[in-house]
Amino acid sequence: MSEAIQIIPPTDIQGDIAPIDTGRARAYAEASKATNTTRAYASDFRDFAEWCARNEVSPLPANFGTVAAFLAYSADRGLKASTVSRKASAIRFAHRAKGFPSPTESAEVEVTLRGIRRHLGTAAKQKAPAIATNIAVMLSRAPNNAHGKRDRALIALGFAGAFRRSELVALNVADLTFTDEGVDVMVRRSKTDQEGEGFVKSIPAGNAIKPVLLLREWIESAGIESGHVFRRVRRGGAVGAESLTPQSVALIVKRYAEVSGLDPAAFAGHSLRAGFVTSAAEAGADINRIMDQSGHRDPRTVRTYIRRANRYRDHAGSAFL
């Protein structure tokens, strides 16, 4: 006869188990979202909580009627459909984090969001791509001082690697491996790589933009041996230790667009990335090779740039228009 299974009372085993640390679990849960997303969610939920306080209703837990009314209020304030949708995501995230059912999953909230998207439209307003010819002019406008050398390296590398702003400002000297043919850049974390597996972007030396030469010139002239690659430069040309911010990248691109005779309002940090993809498409590069460099996961996004770049080439009406 088999022995009976012995059930050990919980009181007999509690002393052998470490106290449960719910704080650490909460910290890891918060880390599941990118820093920018977490910051946006916190701001969005604060907006929701303040609206609830003014209307004397509960923000957490909230009922679906409260959330639907808040989203309608947000849309009436002139916010974009994507921003309203993000606010709904923030409310969902806050409820799940506290163990409450999410009111955003109700039919009333879903119908409200669908109506907002239809009413406001969901087309994103894209910044203009800084194509290769634009980049060449921008580089020629940079002064030959610390600010100019940093900006030349930033613009040239950002374009050549189709980098996101966040990827550029996160680069450290240890992430760069110079070779006879160019430089290999390790991107340790990206928008499409939130778990930090990392991937390498290879940048050729080039004959026109010369991103590797400009990068070397900046690092050597600034005396940077470790730490952040792209740093703040103080008045007088002193190079600090702190990194530029993603917003700094956007402002630098806008400034050089303006001095190059372009509309600064049409350009931003994303223009470097969009410019590489557009220039590569115009040159007939294979979509897979473009994605290798840009790090795009969805080919549909890249095809949008390719269609724009080739919109007059092999046009259906070329033979008779």
Q: Quick one: which of 113, 131, 9 has its CA closest to 68?
A: 113
Residue 56 — left, alpha, or beta (φ > 0 → left; ψ -120 to 50 → alpha)?
left
> What is the identity of the amino acid at 244?
L
273 in catalytic set: yes
Cα three-residue angle 296-301-302, rounded to 5 degrees: 70
Q: What is the dihedral of CA 103, 67, 94, 113, to 10 degrees?
A: 80
Give the span between the Cα atoms of 249 and 170, in whole angstroms: 12
307 in catalytic set: no
Phi/psi at 307 (5° precision):
-60, -40
Q: Which long-range contacts (CB under 8 A, 24 or more apart) does 296-303 make?
A: 296/192, 297/192, 302/277
300 in catalytic set: no
191 in catalytic set: yes
Please identify which of the residues 149, 152, 201, 273 carries the catalytic annotation: 273
Please identify which of the residues 39, 191, 289, 313 carries the catalytic annotation: 191
Q: Quick one: which of 160, 106, 181 has its CA closest to 272?
A: 160
Cα three-residue angle 53-55-56, rounded to 5 degrees: 60
Give the span between the Cα atoms of 296 and 292, in whole angstroms: 8
- Are residues 202 and 257 in contact, defined by beta-carbon separation less than 8 angstroms? no
Please identify which of the residues 164, 165, 231, 254 carries the catalytic annotation: 164
Return the active site residues.
Answer: 164, 191, 270, 273, 296, 305
